Structure 1
């Protein structure tokens, strides 16, 4: 019996071991929450804080028509031509400037449609990709804040 009473205590969990881990978790949560708030509110990593995006209401835009463009397709494509028309949604204050740029817009669309592979146009998501690509190119030509959207009003492969 005397041996059991004289034996040193078995090592148990130390009380101070959990404190650094707990402080680390709390610190990580606070830093993560602060970083989320900073990005979400636009304090950091905003696209371009100097450029103000124009906010549109239903009365603040107008349309610039893109006349029908007909493109002859190569014989091996299985179709004879592509017929395409659209509308460019522009800020109302930019309408007259965008009307003057209409020939440039038509040239851009015509050139892009000639460069697109016909097999790509037959894919289910072709119009979505085509619309996004043309819109981005139109926005680059017109400058920031002038063009809001591009609508495809006619798309026929025959």
Structure 2
């Protein structure tokens, strides 16, 4: 039994390298975080508003609405005459957004506006209404035509109130 090797009960010595690396990284990251906050790279939370700022916020109202008026166009019923349409009609009702300064001038041009809309809508085919973006395209075309009739500065927008095909 003399040939037996002695049993090693001594634990192996662990390396302290991971501990040292962790400490160095902790110091570097902590120093980097301090520098980022101190130099302003990371913004601090907003400060509480002062009494003067609160008073200014409460006395400053929301922006006022623009000075506009709406001119109603009488409902139009358009016969959609095409071979594929059969006996179909379009019921169209819209309002025109105008600066209130030009409301009377646009009202005086209303017969011409109705004529332009009638002519444009009668020239369309039923297939022109079937596309998903058809209403957007038609609206922009009508707006452009009305701006030509009344002047670009007089008409801001065309609001379609009713657009029904039967």
Give the TM-score taking structure 2 as reference length.
Answer: 0.58
1:63 is aligned, of 67, 70, 81, to: 70
Q: Report deviation, 1:122.
A: 1.3
In structure 2, stretches of 5+ residues that fail to align are 1-63
User: Which consecutive unaligned segments of at least 5 residues does structure 1 have?
Assistant: 1-56
Partner of 2:138: 130
Q: Give, in whole Å, the separation in 2 of the partners of 1:118 and 1:143.
A: 30
Normalising by structure 1, we get a TM-score of: 0.61
Provide the C-alpha distance between the structure 2 equivalents of 1:128 and 1:98, rounded to a whole number of angstroms: 23
Instruction: Give distance in 2, aligned partners of 1:78 and 1:121.
Output: 15
Secondary structure at the counterpart of residue 84 of structure 2: helix
Contact in 1 for aligned 2:70/2:96 (Cα 8 Å): yes
Equivalence map 1:9-88=2 (5 Å): 58-74=65-81, 76-78=84-86, 80-88=88-96
Partner residue of 1:142? 150
Give the superposed CA RMSD. 1.4
**Moved segments of 4+, more than 3 Å:** none
> Residue deviations 1:18-62, cap 9 Å, x none?
xxxxxxxxxxxxxxxxxxxxxxxxxxxxxxxxxxxxxxx624110
Name the residue aligned to 1:112.
120
Task: Kindly tell me the number of residue pairs found equivalent between the two proteins.
Answer: 102
